[in-house]
Structure 1
């Protein structure tokens, strides 16, 4: 397919596609898509996940959407509609990499051809349900650490853990934005120590201690779900959360998704793999919210990020000519 734009404008610069995770969900976020051709994707996802995705996208309130399984399948559905619309509107958009934050990694795998939309829906549904059950069995929480470095946060985490209040580093999102995860006592201990080191902890309104060993029961469930899915080799590299490396081999992803359940999301390093390693500084964030756009701009101020939350957002994509 041609890399040019539909109106004959100069070809766009190479792009990376980014997909948000849990926490980006919003009430009624499916409404702008309801009368589009892309809405058929919702029916497919509902059928393969066994969940009432339409109700979640159109009628669920904010409190209902905090439920882990509903939040995850809903965000996945919006990302899939946005991806389908992007491909229809800009079929020749050159894409050099895909990446997703936590849950968003499953959308990235679909975008890169590693799994089908249907298999992605099955995995997201199994993952969300398993995480919800793990939270019920072992309560926990998360907190955003502002103003510190990853190494500085690791020192605070080590001190809290040594004192018998388990907590782990969960996300390295961007400079000065680290997320910790673990027991409520562990997060409280880091919060108490943080001001002495020039940091502050903001407790997050999440259901549990995601990306920590407290998710071990969910890991086992996801492993069984992955065993039923065919992971194909990618047509576009996917940068993995757990090692910030670009992967093309489908066989890599059983182990990578397994580790992601209990390990940290190395988002800052993943973005740098795209910008520095692959030489791409134009991004499209596909899905609800603009959280990833903000992170990317903190990581690389020269990056250009377009967000596609609704069909109307598509007009802003593919306007940056490739460098000659």
Structure 2
């Protein structure tokens, strides 16, 4: 490849989804591929039969926070590993980012964490969040409006229902709120009153809010027990939408992400403006990352990983 060809080649950012994209038998396309070997590695690290989760678990089990996070993490890694083994047919990533749980997948893909340590963290995080949700039940809803409108609705509801926060800034027309079930229900009703579309999410936790604080100690202990690489490929973090290449940054960032909002619109902007990415690649189950990218940075082409490879099924 000449220097001119290299400079004009697309600069790819790999995007990894979070909890919510799980579906039954989502590992089936990869079960007969060389990539499937990592499932045993994840299972050993997590102390759980992840192959059964990916192939046999029903919708009720996959709705559990601890099970869903581990299943999505592994399915996304299967897609990523298959790309890595594709004999040059897949582009190398210039930068990485993941939405919520997907940030842990991005850290593995970027070389900041081993598969083993990534799986240990995801398993610990999922267990801790599930316990926190049982002690402090929560709910979430997606507001089809920009940040200003969502903030106004939250401020109005918090006068009487203070346990309510902005949890995800997903794009110019999607903001997710989270809090106590009563507060989220009040916000949904108020949004309907003023003609703003609002959709309840199928979760029983108030992710990325202070209601997750009971999970912080367990996650902090898990973070102390793993090893982050001193330097790694660029990853844009959820909590500050900044590029990070030093492993020492991540214990603090991961803890902040647990109880703080995901600035996904900012992440996509940083991938474009700071990391210089000219193409986005949605790696993992579902089409959520591609959809958010097309609405937030429509000038960047988006591909799904399965569009780059023949079906492994």
Name the TM-score class by shorter chain. Answer: over 0.9
Q: Report the number of matched residues.
A: 308
Does the CA contact (< 8 Å) of 1:49 and 1:122 recur in 2?
Answer: yes
Does the CA contact (< 8 Å) of 1:3 and 1:11 recur in 2?
Answer: no
Deviations 1:15-51 (A, max 9, x none): 0011000001110000000000000000000001101
Alpha-carbon shift at residue 197 of structure 1 (Å) = 4.4
Pair 1:90–1:176, CA change in 2 (3 A): farther
The equivalent of 2:67 in structure 1 is 70
Distance of 1:46 and 1:249 partners within structure 2: 27
Is residue 315 of structure 1 aligned with residue 309 of structure 2?
yes
The equivalent of 2:57 in structure 1 is 60
Does the CA contact (< 8 Å) of 1:293 and 1:307 recur in 2?
Answer: yes
The equivalent of 1:225 in structure 2 is 222
Q: 2:290 aligns with which of 288, 293, 297?
A: 293
Deviations 1:51-106 (A, max 9, x none): 11011000011121001111111111111111111111154733221000000000
Q: Under a length normalisation based on structure 2, what TM-score does the superposition of the two structures give?
A: 0.93
SS of structure 2 residue aligned to 1:169: strand
Which runs of 5 or more structure 2 residues have no equivalent in the other structure? none
Distance of 1:37 and 1:186 partners within structure 2: 47
Instruction: Tell me which stretches of 4 or more aligned residues in structure 1 moved more than 6 Å.
Output: none
SS of structure 1 residue aligned to 2:112: coil
Is residue 105 of structure 1 aligned with residue 103 of structure 2?
yes
Alpha-carbon shift at residue 233 of structure 1 (Å) = 3.1
User: Where in structure 2 are the equivalents of 1:78-97 lying within 5 Å?
Assistant: 78-89=75-86, 91=88, 93-97=91-95
The equivalent of 1:152 in structure 2 is 149
Does the CA contact (< 8 Å) of 2:243 and 2:275 recur in 1?
Answer: no
The equivalent of 1:305 in structure 2 is 302
SS of structure 1 residue aligned to 2:218: helix
**In angstroms, what is the RMSD of aligned CA positions?**
2.1
Does the CA contact (< 8 Å) of 1:89 and 1:314 recur in 2?
Answer: no
Deviations 1:224-278 (A, max 9, x none): 1001111113431100000100111111101000000011110011001011222
The equivalent of 2:47 in structure 1 is 50
Does the CA contact (< 8 Å) of 2:137 and 2:180 recur in 1?
Answer: yes
Pair 1:3–1:137, CA change in 2 (3 A): farther
Does the CA contact (< 8 Å) of 1:145 and 1:202 recur in 2?
Answer: yes
